[in-house]
Amino acid sequence: MAIVTGKQVGLTGNSAIAYAMRQIDPDVCAAYPITPSTGIIEEFSSYYADGQVSTELITVESEHSAMSACVGASAAGARVMTATSSQGLALMWEMLYIASGMRLPVVMTVVNRALSAPINIHCDHSDSMGARDSGWIQLYSETVQEAYDNLLQAVRIAEDPRVLTPAMVCMDGFITSHAVENITLLADGEVKGFIGDYKPGRSLLDTDNPITMGAMTLQDVYMDFKHEQSMAIAGAKEVVVEVGSDFGRRFGRHYGLMECYRLEDAEAAIVVLNSAAGTTKVAVDELRKKGKKVGLLKPRLFRPFPYAEIAAALKNVKAVCVLDRADSMNGFGGPLFSEVRSALYGLASVPKVMGRIFGLGGRDYTVEHSTAVFEGLYRIIETGRMEELTGYLKS
């Protein structure tokens, strides 16, 4: 693929991720195809076949095998990457916990797709949200540009000696993975200079310094391992900010823990992940023209959850709607709603917070939906009453 770096080009999300992987040139990539992430590995395998990477590309018989191979390669000291979606991520479940528990900085793109049943190949966040407590860092991407930039940063974040935790870069299936958007690519040398060489602190192949990984632990020490892991992923928040700041200084695109869009004086706000944030921004701009003080908070980092920063961003808002593209199946809304509402609980003046589940299985989310949500928030502000705390946004 002939691509000019430094200028805007049109690429799909899958093509942008594959191109970033070529530039990163990981030591090992083990993968099994699944819609809608298949294009990532298809294109990366073309780079491999053309000799443009030195990667050991391992084609396996399942996604469980893919993550198993990633775990083994990373434990041996390799820089490792893969990609998957939906049932593929679900089939990796057992190995996700092993990768994180063994503190292996595997980087994986998750192209979000609904979990079966019934079978659906389109976007929602039930796959990555199902893995939210597996010990992986999770970065969410609104656009093709952000997905590309997030993947480059995820390598630095995961491999940081203070972190050493695997990372998922999530983008919406078909909406972002297959849509062509303008994107500015970095030069290969810029990418290499940014991510640097991977120098693992430990490796199973380092026979002069033998180690044991994945050993049996019992009641006396297991909890200590988990505590250290928990502290490491919590500390990743600061590393995400540091890496985003360095990326911004080098390349002019700035990233933090979240994006606050016209929130400074907002009375009503929507909180939403990924591509739906772009749709919501259009509604915000249209309502602002009509004098409505509305805004958007788009979390970029979901794991670890930046609860204090989210609370600070929303502390002056009167009413908030958290939109989830997944249902926790707990009778009390989606996962993002629960965590945002908990984050706001300790404020001196807590905004009214409601949750709505939307867009499951790829159902459209439109500017009109955003506008209707804001209208509902203003009714809450005016009356002081919330008629429905959680529910589905279907009409």
Q: Is the pLDDT of residue 260 over 70?
A: yes
Residue with token string 């632990």: 217
CA-based radius of gyration for the chain = 21
Mean pLDDT of the region 209-218:
93
Question: Mean pLDDT score of the chain, rounded to an integer?
Answer: 97
214 exposure class (CB count in 10 Å sphere: 0-12, 13-18, 19+): exposed
* The pLDDT of residue 2: 60
Tell whether the model's pLDDT for residue 156 goes beyond 90. yes
Task: Read off the pLDDT of each residue in 96-100 and give the average, rounded to a whole number.
Answer: 98
Interval 267-277: pLDDT, tens: 999 999 999 99
What domains lie within the chain, and their CATH numbers? 8-187+219-251 (3.40.50.970), 258-392 (3.40.50.920)
What pLDDT is recorded for position 7?
A: 86
pLDDT digits (tens, 9 = 90+) for 286-341: 999 999 999 999 999 999 999 999 999 999 999 999 999 999 999 999 999 999 99
Quote the pLDDT of residue 279. 98
Provide φ and ψ at 40, rounded to 5°. Answer: -60, -50
Kindly tell me if the per-residue pLDDT of 126 is higher than 60: yes
pLDDT at 5: 77
pLDDT for residue 232 is more than 60:
yes
